[in-house]
Amino acid sequence: MKSLSKQAEKTFRKLIAEMALHDSRTIDNTNKTFMPVHVEIIAQHHLSLVVSIAHYFEQNGDLCQDPEMTFLVNDAGVYPMTFQQAIPPIYQEAMRVEGEGVRFAPRIQRELTTFANSWMKNIQSQQF
């Protein structure tokens, strides 16, 4: 499995600092110049957390992901699991926790990691 780069992981860990299971927060240090970042710790599997990071926009009264990704987080690194966005509708699953292990699709997982590295760089420059 491919983990985030060291720089992207540093930004990611800033986003989840001092959060616990089922905590959520919205980060907007730009006064709506850029989309706020929504962070939620949604699950725990053994020594790993599952974290959702998202941007949302509103269309016709509905909140739409632009995008939302989930990540498996542990002491060894941060690993992209899923990617989704509302328009155009896209859902990609690169990794799934099953019982005691993890199943993953190597090509999709690498692609999501590349995207997440760029996204974390953008979040760092926009929000911190």
Cα 29 from Cα 99, distance rounded (Å)? 39
Query: What would the pLDDT profile of 106-117 be if each residue is shown by its tens digit?
Result: 999 999 999 999
Residue 22 CA, distance from chain mean position: 15
DSSP 53: E
End-to-end CA distance of the chain: 28
Q: Is the pTM of this model over 0.75?
A: yes
Model pLDDT for residues 20-52, shown as the tens digit of each residue: 999 999 999 988 889 999 999 999 988 899 999
Name the residue ranges covered by the structural domains of the chain.
6-127
